[in-house]
């Protein structure tokens, strides 16, 4: 299989021995991470001094204000209604998820089949009420919904998004929209003018290679208050992550990744016989790709869910950042 040959080619180029390659190839296409773009990496290395960032009393506010305009200037997507919400820095999107769980402790949390595995792990291990759903009509009062847009399982906008949000508004179901993939996607149009939307979460972890810096932004209604917003109000947040985030978004626009890699992404997907998605790093594979889907990821998360419930979502990050090595396979 061509995909396997390419994986081995890249892994060997990194200096891995046979045993290491055999192990690494199992999860080569199942990961979900940002592209190690050389220009971005070089810029990150020039980030401000850590001590200066910690002592900068205005850093959090500057990052929050700049982030909003940065998101809204995206050429490939639209996100209308963001001005209705108030931003506060988040440790990736994960802190926003945890805050949502704490804000709605008595709700039964619902997730569409294929949603981000973190939620399932947390709910299972804490013994809290949750369930998968296949249709928005399974949602009713007393529920809360977390929904990724683009959707985690496919990299595309969820089908019937407007109907889902209309239904949740009518049933008074609080919704968290996870827009972690927004800045690595195209053709995504989101209307935030729905009363049911409680939280909107963004993250830089999939956009730039800064996942371990935990840089994100949460938007909530202006009258809301919880621990995360309290820290934002009293300026008791992580200034280092804010400083790194500000350093990056002042240099690179929110559509940088799509602008730079979209054409090559489509070439790679076509060459491998994959269906391209709206998200730059994901493509959908046929049943031939079942061993490269999220089976290994489910194991890593300690979940026993049947991988057949999930699409064969193939991550192309490794290929996109190794364009030179792919020449012999791409016939360019």
The β-bridge partners of 132 are: 111
Contact 191, 79 (CB under 8 A): no
Q: Residue 238 phi/psi, 5° resolution?
A: -75, 100
Q: List where CATH 3.40.640.10 sits in the chain.
A: 49-249
Mean pLDDT of the chain: 93
* Per-residue tokens: 220: 């909530």
Task: Look up tokens 């802190």; give the residue.
Answer: 95
Residues in the chain: 332
Q: What one-character DSSP code corresponds to residue 158?
A: P
| Secondary structure class of 326 (helix, strand, coil) | helix
Per-residue pLDDT in tens (0 to 9) along the chain, 332 residues: 788 899 998 999 999 999 999 888 888 998 889 999 999 999 999 999 999 999 999 999 999 999 999 999 999 999 999 999 999 999 999 999 999 999 999 999 999 998 998 998 899 889 999 999 999 999 999 999 999 999 999 999 998 999 999 999 999 999 999 999 999 999 999 999 999 999 999 999 999 999 999 999 999 998 889 999 999 888 899 999 999 999 999 999 999 999 999 999 999 999 999 999 999 999 999 888 887 777 667 777 777 665 666 788 999 999 999 988 887 777 75
**Per-residue pLDDT at 307:** 62
* Per-residue tokens: 246: 């500000």
pLDDT tens for each residue of 101-144:
999 999 999 999 989 989 988 998 899 999 999 999 999 999 99
User: What distance in Å separates the CA atoms of residue 38 and residue 183, rounded to the nearest whole number?
Assistant: 18
Q: Residue 148 phi/psi, 5° resolution?
A: -85, 135
- Nearest to residue 143, comparing CAs of 176, 117, 120, 121? 176
User: What distance in Å separates the CA atoms of residue 154 and residue 276, rounded to the nearest whole number?
Assistant: 10
- Nearest to residue 237, comparing CAs of 3, 114, 79, 60? 60
Contact 297, 304 (CB under 8 A): no
C-alpha distances out from residue 134 to 64, 111, 113, 276, Å: 35, 9, 6, 23
The β-bridge partners of 216 are: 90, 203
Radius of gyration (C-alpha) of the chain in whole angstroms: 20
Fold type of domain 49-249: 3.40.640
Distant-in-sequence, close-in-space partners of 76: CB < 8 Å, separation ≥ 6:
185, 186, 187, 188, 255, 258, 259
Instruction: Write the DSSP string, 243-306.
Output: HHHHHHHTTS-TTHHHHHHHHHHHHHHHHTTPEE-SBTTEEE--GGGGGGSSHHHHHHTT----
User: What distance in Å separates the CA atoms of residue 184 and residue 262, rounded to the nearest whole number?
Assistant: 10
């Amino acid at each position: 299989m061509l995909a396997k040959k390419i994986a081995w080619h890249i892994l060997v180029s990194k200096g891995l021995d046979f045993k290491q390659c055999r192990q690494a190839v199992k999860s080569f296409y199942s990961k979900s991470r940002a592209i190690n773009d050389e220009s971005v990496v070089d810029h990150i290395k020039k980030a401000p001094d850590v001590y200066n960032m910690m002592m900068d009393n205005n850093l959090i506010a500057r990052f929050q204000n700049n982030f909003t305009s940065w998101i809204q200037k995206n050429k490939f997507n639209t996100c209308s209604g963001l001005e209705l919400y108030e931003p506060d820095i988040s440790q990736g999107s994960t802190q926003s998820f945890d805050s949502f769980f704490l804000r709605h402790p008595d709700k039964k949390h619902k997730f569409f089949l294929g949603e981000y595995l973190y939620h399932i792990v947390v709910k299972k291990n804490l013994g809290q009420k949750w369930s998968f759903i296949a249709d928005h009509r399974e949602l009713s009062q007393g529920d809360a919904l977390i929904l990724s847009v683009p959707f985690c399982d496919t990299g595309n906008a969820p089908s019937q998004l407007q109907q889902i949000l209309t239904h949740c508004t009518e049933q008074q179901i609080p919704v968290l929209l996870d827009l972690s993939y927004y800045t690595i996607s195209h053709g995504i149009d989101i209307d935030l003018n729905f009363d049911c939307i409680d939280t909107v979460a963004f993250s830089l972890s999939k956009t730039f290679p800064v996942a371990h810096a935990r840089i994100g932004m949460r938007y909530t209604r202006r009258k809301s208050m919880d621990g995360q917003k309290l820290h934002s109000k009293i300026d008791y947040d992580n200034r280092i992550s804010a400083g790194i985030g500000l350093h990056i978004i002042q240099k690179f626009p929110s559509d940088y990744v799509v602008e730079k890699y979209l054409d090559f992404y489509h070439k790679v997907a076509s060459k491998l016989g994959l269906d391209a998605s709206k998200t730059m790093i994901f493509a959908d594979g046929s049943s031939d790709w079942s061993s490269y889907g999220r089976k290994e990821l489910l194991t890593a998360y300690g979940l026993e869910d049947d991988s057949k419930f999930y699409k064969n979502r193939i991550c192309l990050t490794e290929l996109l950042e190794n364009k030179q090595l792919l020449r012999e396979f791409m016939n360019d």
